[in-house]
Amino acid sequence: MSIAVVGVNHRTAPLEVRERFAHAPREVPAALARVLSAGAGGGVLLSTCNRTEFYLAEPGDAIPATVWAMLTERLSEGRSASEYGYLVRDRDAVRHLYRVSAGLDSMILGESQIQGQVREAWETSRSQAGPVLHRLFQSALLVGARVRSETALAAGAASAPSAAVALAGKIFNRLAGRAALVLGAGVTLVANRTYERARAVAEELGARALTLDEAWEHFASADIVLTSTAAPHAVVTWERVAPAIGRRGGRPLCILDLAVPRDVEPAVGQLENVFLYDIDDLQAVAANAATERHHEVPAAERIVSDEVERFWAWYGGLAAVPVLKEFRGRLDDMRAAELERALKRLAHLSPEDRAQVEQFSHALLNKFLHHPTIALKQAAQAGRGYGLLESLKKLFGLERLDDT
């Protein structure tokens, strides 16, 4: 009875290695089949840009080596995947998945995309997961949802793009339907220093292309201006846009300058109702949100710990039933064998007496087993049964249960 995680993540492997280990959904069934053939009761492969992890139920001793060998094939000569990886077992493996699903193990703390990726991994591996991992992944998704609803771990905008959306969202009630002017390359109106480039991008996005000179007039009507040209100096100057902005009639204008060096002259930000933000501002918003999220980590970890115990109680209980059955069966076989031997030596006994002796052997065995059985069941229900069960298996030679 065991659960294990074998894999790499953004903390243990650089991007150059992680991208080699990434598995497309179509590659997952074959990769899992290869790992499971080394001996495991079920597997799920979670592969994202930040991690490649094999979650395995009842893994055999050869499993880690098989995973490392398979991943090493994707590396250049002389390197081994195991240098970048980790193996986590049992409760820690459950905790690991719950932390991943909750966004506690993400590069951007609390990011929510991972929740969808965990779901996709589970669905892609569904036919190979087995009942224990089904339950584990279902509960991991619930843990992720619980952490996000009961803590503020996912609150705020902790990346530059989400910071840009958060900034615009603090000026406008809703962002849908806003007129956007994109200077550089990228939605309703697209202006570029090269008109042909602007037209190509605009056609792709269903927008309208402008030359840069035509763009200045649109500062009177646009709600959001996004700039990211490769110009070596500011192209949006006070002289060029102040007249158009003056015609806005008090409506706010959000300018997001993503270029380095900056595209927008700082003086433009001094204009009434103009909110100008550059890449440093976006990073400041993202950093603030990340700091806020760190305050939520203890609360999120508490939820994870609670849920790990809950899962382990279920898992321990699940494992206790066949072990106890085997344990009782093994001792009953011993009782029957010893009884038969004893009765051969006591051939003078009447059938009634023989029945009494057999009854006695049953009663004695039940007396012996009563307390350990109750204690094991209680320990398993409380999530503390794993160690006891392992001891029982070793002491009474029940390991063959693992083989089955």
* 111 residue type, one letter: E
Q: Interface mask (CB under 8 A) for other proteins, residues 137-166, using x and -?
A: ---------------x---x----------
* Three-class DSSP category at 356: helix
- Asked if 117 touches other proteins (CB under 8 A), the answer is no
* β-pair type (224-227, 253-257): parallel
Q: By the 8 A CB rule, do 91 and 308 touch?
A: yes
Beta strands in 10-150 (DSSP E): 42-47, 51-57, 86-89
| Rounded alpha-carbon distances, angstroms, from residue 264 to 69, 170, 183, 270, 393 | 52, 21, 11, 12, 72
Rg of the chain over all Cα atoms, to the nearest angstrom: 32
Nearer to other proteins, 70 or 244 (CB): 244
CB of 243 to other proteins, least distance (A): 19
CA dist., res. 339 & res. 361, Å (int): 7
Select 172 or 396, whichever has its Cβ closest to other proteins.
Answer: 172
Find out whether 184 and 228 touch, Cβ atoms under 8 Å.
Answer: yes
Residue selected from 252, 349, 369, 381 as contacting other proteins according to rule CB under 8 A: 252
254 flagged as catalytic: no
The reply on whether position 39 binds other proteins by CB under 8 A is: no
Considering CB under 8 A, how many residues would be counted as binding other proteins?
21
Nearer to other proteins, 82 or 288 (CB): 288
Min dist CB 222 to other proteins, Å, is 15
x/- letters, 298..337, toward other proteins (CB under 8 A): ----------------------------------------
Q: From the list 138, 273, 359, 378, which residue makes contact with other proteins (rule: CB under 8 A)?
A: 273
CA triplet 107, 111, 117: central angle to 5 degrees? 90
**HEC-encoded secondary structure of 251-307:** CCEEEEECCCCCCECHHHHHCCCEEEEEHHHHHHHHHHHHHHHHCCHHHHHHHHHHH
Nearer to other proteins, 247 or 362 (CB): 247
Three-state SS at 53? strand
**For residues 283 and 359, which CB has a smaller minimum distance to other proteins in the complex?**
283
Note whether 275 binds other proteins by CB under 8 A: yes
Instruction: Give the binding range for other proteins (CB under 8 A) out of 118-126, 270-278, 331-339, 391-399.
Output: 270-278
CB neighbour list of residue 367: distance below 8 Å, 6 or more residues apart: none
| Cβ(30)–Cβ(9) below 8 Å | no
Member of 78, 177, 232, 250 binding other proteins (CB under 8 A): 250
Position among 277, 311, 312, 386 found at the interface with other proteins (CB under 8 A): 277
Nearest approach in angstroms of CB 288 to other proteins is 5
The reply on whether position 110 binds other proteins by CB under 8 A is no
Stretch that binds other proteins, among 8-16, 117-125, 247-255, 344-352 (CB under 8 A): 247-255
The answer to whether 338 and 358 are in contact (CB under 8 A) is no
Chosen residue from 29, 60, 169, 317 binding other proteins by CB under 8 A: 169
For the CB of residue 86, give the shortest distance to other proteins in the complex, in Å.
33
Beta bridge partners of 253: 274
Is residue 249 at the binding interface for other proteins, with CB under 8 A as the rule?
yes
> Contact 233/227 with Cβ under 8 angstroms?
no
Residue 255 CB, nearest distance to other proteins (Å)?
12
Interface with other proteins in residues 170-229 (CB under 8 A)? 170-173
Phi and psi at residue 53, in whole multiples of 5°? -135, 130
Of 49, 165, 334, 375, catalytic: 49
Residues with catalytic function: 49
> Which residues form the interface with other proteins (CB under 8 A)?
152, 156, 167, 169-173, 249-252, 272-273, 275, 277, 281, 284-285, 288, 292
